[in-house]
């Protein structure tokens, strides 16, 4: 049995050699995951001590990537081993052959397989938008690995207006002749991120884009838009999933978010896991968790139990 497990582990996890640099204190490695179309590669960024048994998983939004969490991961890497996956179809991960397979159950299965292969039995979870939906789906299952859950601007009700807004641009970005033109586009479609610094916008742009053949293109499979647009047009409610969650939950809302409404947050504090709620001023969908104040909100929730123990 031990030999069989070692073989399976070697199939699903493959390390990629990385030369660490002072400005890149992280490791990048690949997990091999199984889907309807066969085995695909999910790239992960890892921060902190790889031997630390306390693990934090940070999962990004629909068209985003693991590098959104650089600031949060670095700040929490003294407390956690922080793993930030590029969900399949994004960042440096593989693209799926069947674009309709870009669905929450596949993403959840990929991350669960990655954790299982690395022998990780328990994690804390920070999920932005889609990453929060994946976290809710896992946390609602019996014997799930999630100990504490942070939902960043997402909840059990997603408004039809926000789905329509996102559907208008996802997978439809043109090619850009320069990095500056690409950044202008990113700033326009990501205005909900709030008042980021120029350096932060450049960071977001550099990891959202890749240069190919003299032009800049989005670093995600445009086929994600195909799967997204076949979904419901109106509001989507998944209260039974939320109500099944047993672990402590914190929900963060951007004060002008069109995806997570105030009444949804209020209801989240009253039922199911009875989430702790925090609202971030001057931000829409979604807080980027890059500045010190936002990072501290997450840190306080995740580490509160440690300090009081």
| Contacts with 103 (C-beta within 8 Å, 6 or more apart), sequence order | 227
Per-residue pLDDT, 169: 86
Strand order in the sheet with 123-128: 13-15, 26-35, 38-47, 81-85, 55-59, 123-128, 146-152, 249-254, 276-280
Pull the structure tokens for residue 194: 């709030």
Residue 247 is encoded by which pair of tokens?
């672990």
Residues 250, 43: Cα–Cα separation, whole Å? 27
Is the distance from CB of 197 to CB of 76 less than 8 angstroms? no
Please tell me the predicted confidence (pLDDT) of residue 24. 55
pLDDT at position 233 = 73
Which residues, given as ranges, of the chain have pLDDT below 70? Answer: 1-24, 232, 305-309
What's the confidence (pLDDT) of residue 25? 80
pLDDT at residue 306, rounded to an integer: 53
Query: What are 92-137's pLDDT values in tens digits?
Result: 999 999 999 999 999 999 999 999 999 999 999 999 999 999 999 9
Q: Classify residue 162 as exposed, middle or buried by CB count within 10 Å of its CB (0-12, 13-18, 19+).
A: buried
Cα–Cα nearest to 57, from 73, 43, 70? 73
CA quadruple 180, 181, 185, 191: dihedral positive or negative? positive
Whole-prediction pTM value? 0.90
């Amino acid at each position: 049995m031990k030999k069989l497990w070692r073989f399976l582990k070697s199939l699903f996890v493959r390390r990629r050699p990385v030369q660490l640099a002072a400005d890149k204190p992280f490791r990048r490695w690949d997990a091999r995951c199984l889907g309807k179309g066969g085995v695909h590669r999910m790239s992960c960024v890892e921060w902190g001590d790889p031997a630390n048994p306390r693990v934090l998983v940070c999962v990004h939004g629909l068209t985003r990537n693991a590098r959104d969490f650089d600031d949060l991961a670095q700040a929490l890497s003294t407390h956690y081993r922080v793993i930030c996956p590029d969900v399949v179809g994004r960042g440096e991960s593989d693209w799926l052959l069947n674009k309709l397979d870009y669905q929450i159950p596949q993403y959840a299965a990929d991350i669960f397989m990655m954790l299982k292969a690395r022998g990780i039995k328990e994690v804390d979870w920070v999920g932005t938008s889609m990453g929060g939906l994946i976290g809710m789906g896992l946390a609602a299952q019996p014997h799930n690995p999630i100990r504490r859950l942070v939902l960043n601007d997402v909840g059990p009700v997603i408004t039809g207006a926000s789905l329509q807004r996102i559907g208008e641009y996802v997978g439809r970005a043109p090619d850009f002749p320069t990095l500056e033109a690409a950044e202008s586009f990113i700033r326009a479609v990501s205005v909900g991120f709030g008042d980021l610094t120029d350096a932060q916008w450049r960071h977001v742009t550099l990891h959202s884009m890749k240069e190919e053949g003299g032009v800049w293109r989005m670093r995600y499979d445009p086929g994600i838009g195909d799967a997204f647009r076949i979904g419901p047009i109106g509001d989507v409610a998944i209260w039974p999933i939320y109500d099944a969650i047993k672990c402590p939950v914190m929900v963060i809302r951007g004060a002008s978010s069109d995806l997570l409404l105030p009444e949804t947050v209020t209801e989240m504090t009253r039922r199911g896991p009875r989430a702790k709620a925090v609202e971030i001023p001057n931000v829409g969908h979604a807080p980027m968790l890059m500045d010190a104040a936002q990072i501290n909100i997450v840190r306080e929730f995740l580490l509160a139990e440690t300090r009081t123990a």
